[in-house]
Structure 1
Amino acid sequence: MQSFLKGKGLWKYVTGDLKPLKKDDPKFDDWEINNNKILTWIANTVTPSISMQFGRFDTAKDVWDFMSRRYLQSNFARKYKLEQDLRSLRHQKGQFVSEFHSQMTIIWDELALMEPKWTTGAELWYNYREEMWLVQFLMALQDDFETIRATILHRSPLPTVESALSELFAEETRKGLLPNPSSVFVVTSHPRGNYSKGKST
């Protein structure tokens, strides 16, 4: 929602940087239209039991603040569940490495959103997180990849997830696990937590 509203140039309505206008202000109609657009978009993206509580609020900021106060406290429980899912996730027999990486990336991305906004030592943290993701991913692979997994884990410095994936895809192809030799899945991973992108060619 944040990305969507920023793309529409309306995020300041939610943060309160763009204050409500008085009815005699020439720009009031535009402000009211945009405010109600945001209220509608938010209401349409949450469950009815939540949106029914929005009736007592007049501005998008009020609704956003309400949801932050009410539901932010559940972040720890959500984080706990995600960490639990991550540790139980295992590469299944016959499952492509690309498919398994996508499953793990969904969890990584959501966990990354829960991290604090780093103001100092950010680069060190991102490098540490990249190494942590690499270890988590490699350890969850099936035993067919033990040889290449051991090779990657003993390198210094460790490669990025993206670099390791290239080698794993090659190993997958060598073992004949892909449906045909022309099937390639390209994956990019950024140490700063950007969403991974994949496309088949």
Structure 2
Amino acid sequence: MTFSTSSYLNAATGSTSSTLHALFDANHPYFLHPSDHPGLVLLTITLNEQNYNQWSRSMKIALSSKLKLGFVDGTYVKPVSNATLLMHWNRCYDIVISWIPNTISSEICQSVLYMSVAKDIWDDLIIRFAQTNVPKLFNLKKELAYLSQRNMSISAYFTKFRSLNDELDALSVVPHCDCGKCSCNVNAKLDNFSKTAKLSQFLMGLSEQYITIRGHLLLMTPVPTLSAAYSLLMQEENQR
């Protein structure tokens, strides 16, 4: 869906001139906070050749929170019939383009520095760094398969396990039925299967000193969530 500024303005006041300044509030894509300057660094993550998926997800969240994601994915189309709207659109567009180099490594930055179209920059980074999903999936699954607690605390082990699974979920989305006609509740079954599989793998990696509570967790009905299991394991660790 494309964002239509004129429909937004007409719906609000029936005017596109005298009330423009009043409509650009914090809920409007053309709104810029005083802190939204070209030197703003949106992320603590810097894009390199190895972390595109984490960077892309974080960047989308950051831009979306500022209502600016549409400037890089092409959703917010350039106004052509209103000079005032065009001025504001260009201002936001240039600001967004200035943010992207602030979040990528200097080596990659040099290759996109002179590109003037935000969507071209975005698509170029996708083509260059998002096509390595299969090797990345292989490495993530291999790391998860060999992950165990060993000398880590419950908290450190859980954090490592959770981060690997979250990255894996971002790369390999489980298919869901969206026809709206199914009566077999397949989506809920898939979700429960995934949660149970993750819990089982998490418990498999626990140190032998947690055999008793592991058996208790496996016998619980309904099966606890990963977070609930972590909470019980933390209590056990604190008691020790």
TM range (shorter): 0.7 to 0.9
User: Which residue matches 2:97?
Assistant: 39
1:151 alignment counterpart: 216
- What is the rounded CA distance, in whole Å, between the counterparts of 2:131 and 2:162 in structure 1? 24
- Superposed displacement of residue 25, structure 1: 2.5
Residue in structure 2 matched with residue 96 of structure 1 by the alignment: 153
Structure 1 counterpart of 2:69, one-letter code = W
- Of residues 204, 221, 225 in structure 2, which corresponds to 1:160? 225
Distance 1:63 1:119, change over 3 A: same
SS at match of 1:26: helix
* Pairing 1:59–2:124 present: no
Change (3 A) 1:70 1:126: same
Which residue of 69, 74, 82 maps to 2:132? 74
Please show how residues 1-201 of structure 1 align to structure 2 within 5 Å.
1-22=59-80, 25-93=83-151, 95-116=152-173, 118-120=175-177, 121-175=186-240
Alpha-carbon shift at residue 92 of structure 1 (Å): 2.6
Shift of 1:59: 1.9
- Point out the structure with max Rg over C-alpha: 2
Q: Cα distance 1:24–1:161, how it changes in 2: closer, same or farther (>3 A)?
A: closer
| Distance in structure 2 (CA, Å) of the matches to 1:10 and 1:117 | 28
Q: CA deviation at 1:99?
A: 2.0
In 2 relative to 1, CA 160–19 (structure 1 residues): closer, same or farther, beyond 3 Å? same
In structure 1, distance between residues paired with 2:67 and 2:225 = 35
Structure 2 residues not aligned, in runs of 5+:
1-58, 178-185
For structure 1, the residue ranges without an aligned partner over 5 or more in a row are 176-201
Deviations 1:107-162 (A, max 9, x none): 11111112337441433322222111111111111100011112222445422112
> 1-side partners of 2:104 and 2:216: how far apart?
46
Q: Residues of 1 paired with 2:174 and 2:224: CA distance?
A: 25
Could you state the TM-score of these two structures normalised by the residue count of structure 2?
A: 0.65
TM-score after normalising by structure 1: 0.76
Task: Report the alpha carbon displacement of residue 56 of structure 1 after superposing the two structures with TM.
Answer: 4.8
Shift >6 Å, 4+ stretches: none
Residues 79 and 9 (structure 1 numbering): CA distance in 2 closer, same or farther, change over 3 Å? same
Q: Deviation at 1:46?
A: 1.6
| RMSD, aligned CA | 2.2
Distance 1:63 1:36 in 2: 13
Instruction: Specify the SS of the correspondent of 1:73.
Output: coil
Query: Secondary structure of 1:27's match?
Result: helix
103-112 or 40-49, which moves further after superposition? 40-49
Q: Distance in 1 between matches of 2:208 and 2:145?
A: 17
Q: Which amino acid aligns with 1:142?
A: S
Residue 90 of structure 1 aligns with an amino acid whose one-letter code is S
